[in-house]
């Protein structure tokens, strides 16, 4: 725990780490051949897949997964979260003067889902507000910086803007921490971790097979269902 603290500090550190890792990956990526970039993308995809699979299989609950993914997917498709993510990516692409970057939106969406989905983001943001403890988010920041560095080198500068998604997502949880804390029981966190890892697995599949993507963003409401599942 660090002595100087204010609510949201952990998220700011996380966003800064993503931007730093992304910038290093962006400039380093220019020095890499297409073959090296493709290999890095495949390596990142495999790492994400097996990290997600390992976490999901530890506490596998078939009914939880079925109910969360189907119910969450239905809600997400009706709301069209995937479309909203893409429109945000298009907006950021335009605002940042990257209209000519055809990979920007896909890179932004993929990177955002990779660094936002997971129990660390939720637990860390709550602890940041209620316990004045940014430890979890600082650890997450270190991991995210490496992930975004590699992803930016292979997918492009859109990955850097995943910091915007992290800031919005974790910042919102920090603001609502008092209301969310009673629901974050040990069972809820286990369920969140299990379903979250399945979504991380899906992100890895998208990285490995970009021609046929799973609409992971539309599945995000599954995390809410997982938290209230008993």
**Residue 104: closest CA among 170, 22, 32:** 22
203 Cβ neighbours under 8 A, 6+ residues apart: 48, 52, 110, 113, 114, 117, 216
For residue 83 the two structure tokens come to 């479309």
**What pTM was computed for the model?**
0.82
**Helices then strands, each counted (H, E), the chain:** 11, 0
Please determine, for residue 117, whether its predicted confidence score (pLDDT) is greater than 60.
yes
Residue with tokens 């073959």: 35
Q: Which of 139-143, 148-152, 168-172, 211-215 has the lowest mean pLDDT?
A: 211-215
pLDDT of 168 strictly over 50: yes
115 vs 53: CA distance, rounded Å: 16
DSSP 8-state code for residue 80 = T
User: What is the arithmetic mean of pLDDT over 164-185?
Assistant: 87
Q: What is the per-residue pLDDT across 134-159, written as a single tens digit (0 to 9) for each?
A: 888 998 998 899 889 988 988 899 99
Is 75 or 177 the better-scoring residue by pLDDT?
Answer: 75
More confident residue, 132 or 104: 104
Q: Is the pLDDT of residue 182 over 60?
A: yes
- HSE-CB at 116 with a 13 A cutoff on CA atoms is 26
Angle of CA points 221, 208, 61, to nearest 5°: 40
Dihedral sign for Cα atoms in the order 188, 229, 197, 156: negative
- Mean pLDDT (whole number) for 11-15: 94
Q: Identify the weakest region by mean pLDDT among 21-25, 80-84, 198-202, 220-224.
A: 198-202
- Of the ranges 16-25, 77-86, 116-125, 218-227, which one carries the lowest mean pLDDT score? 116-125
Domain definitions of the chain by residue range: 9-228
Q: Output 91 or 52, whichever has higher pLDDT.
A: 91
Residue 208 has pLDDT above 60, yes or no: yes
Residue 224: other Cβ atoms inside 10 A: 16
Rounded Cα distance between 227 and 230, Å, is 8
Q: 3 pLDDT exceeds 80? A: no
Q: Which percentage of the chain shows pLDDT scores above 70?
A: 95
Q: Which has more confidence, 87 or 188?
A: 87
Residue range 18-67, pLDDT digits in tens: 999 999 999 888 787 888 877 877 887 787 787 777 766 676 788 988 99
Q: Residues 113-117: what's their mean pLDDT?
A: 88
Contact between 128 and 134 (Cβ < 8 Å): yes
**pLDDT beyond 80 at 200:** yes
With a cut of 60, say whether residue 1 has pLDDT above it: no
Tokens of residue 50, six digits: 């097996």
> Radius of gyration (Cα) for the chain, nearest Å?
17
């Amino acid at each position: 725990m660090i002595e100087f603290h204010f609510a949201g500090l952990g998220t700011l550190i996380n966003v800064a780490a993503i931007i730093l890792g992304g910038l290093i990956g962006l400039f380093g990526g220019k020095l890499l051949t297409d073959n090296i970039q493709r290999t890095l993308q495949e390596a990142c995809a495999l790492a994400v897949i097996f990290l997600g699979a390992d976490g999901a299989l530890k506490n596998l609950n078939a009914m939880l997964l079925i109910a969360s993914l189907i119910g969450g997917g239905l809600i997400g498709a009706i709301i069209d979260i995937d479309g909203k993510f893409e429109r945000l990516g298009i907006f950021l692409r335009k605002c940042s003067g990257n209209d000519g970057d055809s990979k920007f939106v896909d890179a932004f969406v993929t990177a955002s889902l990779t660094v936002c989905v997971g129990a660390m983001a939720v637990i860390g943001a709550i602890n940041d507000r209620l316990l004045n403890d940014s430890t979890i988010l600082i650890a997450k920041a270190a991991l995210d910086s490496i992930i975004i560095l590699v992803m930016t080198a292979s997918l492009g500068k859109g990955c850097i803007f995943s910091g915007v998604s992290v800031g919005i997502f974790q910042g919102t949880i920090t603001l609502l921490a008092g209301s969310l804390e009673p629901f974050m029981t040990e069972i809820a966190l286990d369920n969140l971790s299990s379903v979250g890892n399945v979504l991380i697995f899906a992100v890895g599949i998208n990285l490995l097979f970009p021609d046929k993507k799973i609409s992971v963003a539309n599945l995000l409401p599954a995390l809410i269902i997982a938290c209230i599942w008993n």
